[in-house]
Every structure is written in structure tokens, then in C-alpha cells.
Amino acid sequence: MDRKKDFPKLRFTSLKSGCLVRPVAPTKLSGRYLAHQKSLPRLPVPPLQQTLERYLLALEPIVSQEELENTKQIVKEFGQKGGVGERLQASLERRARKTENWLCDWWLRTAYLEYRLPVVIHSSPGVLLPKQDYYDRQGQLRFAAKLISGVLDFKTMIDNETLPVETLGGNPLCMNQYYQILSSCRIPGPKSDSVVNYSQTKKPTHITVVHNFQFFELFVYNSDGSPLTVDQIYMQLEKIWHSSLQTNKEPIGILTTGHRNSWANAYNNLIKDKVNKESVKCIQKSIFTVCLDAPVPKVSDDLYMSHVAAQMLHGGGSRWNSGNRWFDKTLQFIVGEDGSCGLVYEHSPAEGPPIVALLDHVFEYW
């Protein structure tokens, strides 16, 4: 059963053990996620005076006394009764009444999608997992197969809407980001990027595997809808590993490390070719990506953690594994041949808690 497909044109911190996240029910609970989201209170708009007071408080450590006094006067005028501040506050409160979350879209657009510096280092976090006890290709592929199986197990809870609801102080929290981290990808644009999530329609059944700078489509479900076993996944990874050695390597993935405007221009040129466009779409729609990294130079024990953390964060540059990535992909699990492993994730679809919950589950699942 050959469930891989290569792309002919596109040759293109530390986490401790947690606890296995367990589903709240053994079977699918259709509608549970939506019902939970609708029951949550809307994000409140802070009172104008509170906002102004906190703004001044935040400025105190970073401006001179003269600048602070000048700003206080400006803030006082801004907050006067019937002034600009009150009119803007009323507009903000109207927005809050009409939207589920008045801040979310603004934050996503301003903090991430309109941010033009590279996602690498500037916004995408790297996560270093505990070093694994293997030192060869077979161990690398066996570990990667178990990792994939663990993520698919977490995905089952997302698909079945049986994830436990997060709480804070006994109050339920929004779970929307848990449903955004799989089958999603950032798309470059000339002035602003976008994020697409493909799990909302026909759920993808494949992941992307990258080895030797080449991208492969690996279907991870059987015809009856059950996920592949660890042994089945391992056999497919073996085929991918051998296939990637038979072609010339061109690290097209390195393009995703660039300034967002430059990458957007390159992206538009890249997808003018029909095969390239289909290949890129396949990466974007995949559930997640697994990067099988090539060995890197050995370093002393005291430098090892920093060295490997850099591999998780950016791949070490064009000479090493940075071309073995698609940095726009939300989740990229990295498995090195020396036992190093971790994750780099594109930050716009989610903050840290859903990622940590997934990694806790996968780590205990092993």
C-alpha cells in the first residue's frame, strides 16, 4: 500500500512530561463545541478611564518625566466628557455588541497577518522536546511514526468534539483555537497574509512529510476511516526516505523564511505552474507536517541544548535544515536523526495553551 506522493516540481522552552489528555466521552458529541462557544460571555470593553489609567501606568518605566507629564495632559484632554475618547469608546462598545469578540480580528490582523518581517524567529515559536534514545534512521522513523499516531489520537478528540473544556478559576474558557491548529496554514499576501483552515469542510486525510528538502503527501487513514497503525506509518516513512534520495534536492522551503512581501512575490510566481500550485495546496491542506531532519555537526554537551533549540526554531540555516520546512504551516513536528525532536508553529491560528495540550498528549501517548 503506497500512500505517498512526491512533488515533482517542488524540490523544494523545553517541555516536561505532562498528562495524557483524555476525551470526555467515548463517542462523538456532535454540536458540543458550538454549544460551548455560544454559552461563553463576550469579551467586555474596559471602561474608558480604566484604559487611560493603565496606559499611563504602562508608560511610566519607559519615558522621561517630561514626556510622561506631557502625555498625561494629552490623555486628560482625550478623556474629557463629550470628547474624542468618549466618542471612540461608544463606537467600540457598539462593535462589541455586534461581534463575538471585538478584539480578536484586529489582533490577528495587526499582530500577525499584516506583520511583514519573516515569521521565522520574529513570531513563530520553537519548542524543544526531550531527547530520544535512538541514533539511526530506523529509530528516527520509528519515533516519527509514534509521534504521528499520537497527534492523530488528539485529532480524534477534536473531530469528535470530546476534548475536555479548559477552565480558569472554575470558569470555562474559549476552545476555538484547539479547532484551528490542524489542517490550517498561513498564505502569503503582498500587504497582508491570510490564514486558511481546511478542516471546516471536507476534512483532509493526509499529512506532509519533508525529507532531503522534498515534500511528500502521506495519507494516514485507511479506507474505513481508521488511522494507520504505527507499523503502517513506519513502512510509509521508509518509502519516503528512500524515494527522497533518488532525486535532486532544491530547498524551495527556504522561501518561506523570507520577508513576507518578498515571499508573497515568490509565491505568486511559484503557483503560476499548475503542478506547483497543486503541490503547494497539498502542503497547505495537510493535517500537519513532519520534518525528518538530516544530521547536523556534533557539538559539546554544554552547547547541545542551544544548538538543538536553534534547529527547532529555524533549522540552522540554508546549509542545514531550514529548507526542510514550510514555515507557513501551522504545525511542523521536527524529528532529527540524532534523537533530537520538537516543534515549530506558525503563531497566527493559536496561542500556546492548545499547542502545549497537544504536546502533553503526544508525549504521554508514546
Is residue 152 situated within a structural domain? yes
Q: Grid coordinates in use for 315?
A: 533549522
The residues annotated with a catalytic role in the active site are: 347
Is residue 297 situated within a structural domain? yes
Is residue 172 situated within a structural domain? yes
Is residue 105 situated within a structural domain? no
CA gap 328, 119 in Å, rounded: 8
Q: Are residues 92 and 15 in the same domain?
A: no
Q: Are residues 94 and 154 in the same domain?
A: no
| Parent domain of 269 | 4-38+117-365
Is residue 199 situated within a structural domain? yes
CA gap 329, 284 in Å, rounded: 7
Q: Are residues 14 and 54 in the same domain?
A: no
What's the total number of domains in the chain?
A: 2
CA gap 170, 242 in Å, rounded: 51
Q: Are residues 171 and 318 in the same domain?
A: yes
Res. 18 pLDDT band, cuts 50 70 90: low
CA gap 191, 261 in Å, rounded: 7
pLDDT greater than 60 at residue 7: no
Stretch among 5-19, 57-71, 271-285, 352-366 having the lowest mean pLDDT: 5-19
pLDDT greater than 60 at residue 9: no
Stretch among 139-143, 206-210, 317-321 having the lowest mean pLDDT: 317-321
For residue 126, count other CB atoms closer than 10 A to its CB. 21
Q: Are residues 74 and 181 in the same domain?
A: no
Q: Are residues 198 and 76 in the same domain?
A: no
Q: Which residues contact 245 (CB under 8 A, 6 or more apart)?
A: 212
Query: For 319-347, what is each residue's pLDDT tens digit?
Result: 889 999 999 999 999 999 989 999 999 99
Q: Are residues 90 and 185 in the same domain?
A: no
Torsions phi, psi for 210 (to 5 deg): -115, 125
Q: Grid coordinates in use for 118?
A: 519573516
Stretch among 12-16, 115-119, 234-238 having the lowest mean pLDDT: 12-16
Q: Are residues 193 and 73 in the same domain?
A: no
Q: Grid coordinates in use for 295?
A: 544530521
Is residue 109 situated within a structural domain? no
pLDDT greater than 90 at residue 236: yes
**What is the structure's pLDDT at 358?**
95
Is residue 270 situated within a structural domain? yes
The CATH number of the domain where 214 resides is what?
3.30.559.70
Is residue 108 situated within a structural domain? no
Q: Are residues 33 and 71 in the same domain?
A: no
Q: Are residues 95 and 155 in the same domain?
A: no
Q: Are residues 205 and 60 in the same domain?
A: no
Q: Are residues 145 and 289 in the same domain?
A: yes
Specify the residue for cell string 491548529. Answer: 181
